[in-house]
Amino acid sequence: MTPAKKGENALGKGLDALIRKEQPEKKDEITEKTPTKKKTTKKAASKQLKKPKKTTKPKEDPNKIIIDGVVLEVRRNPRISLWSAKSAAVLRFLKNTTPAFSISKEASSLIEDAVKQKYPEIWEMFEGEDF
């Protein structure tokens, strides 16, 4: 296609040259018809796009993936944080009044018992793990 005007060449137009809209061709410039593309139906297109089926591996249990991630995380940092003013007060009182009392050991024991009782199925998932 030739420029419509002499001053409209692509070199001097910068960005306009890159995004220039094509001007419609005049009827007398068309010397031969361009072949039209065959339209494909959705079924034909999907058949062309389908690749041969590969053998699929049995999918891993999504819970197993989560469990493995949790185990790694707990091995790096087994601490949990919680906020309970009354529990903290009771445990600190016991620390100050009972010889060799450990807030951490007592809190761990109480939480483990409560979690095991409330979530027995999940507790069993981690029963064999070595933390």
pLDDT tens digits, 32-53: 555 555 565 656 555 566 666 6
Range of lowest pLDDT (3-7, 91-95, 126-130): 3-7
For the entire predicted model, the pTM comes to 0.51
- CA 131 – CA 125 distance, rounded (Å): 13
Residues composing the chain: 131
Distance CA 129, CA 71 (A): 8
Task: Give the pLDDT of residue 33.
Answer: 55
Q: What's the pLDDT band for 61 if we cut at 50, 70, 90?
A: confident
Tens of pLDDT, residue by residue over 62-105, are 899 999 999 999 999 999 999 999 999 999 999 999 999 999 99
The contacts of residue 67 (CB under 8 Å, 6+ apart) are 125, 126
Least confident of 3-7, 52-56, 103-107, 122-126: 3-7
DSSP assignment string, 59-83 = PPPHHHHHHHHHHHHHHH-------
Give me 37's structure tokens: 């593309």
Contact 71, 126 (CB under 8 A): yes
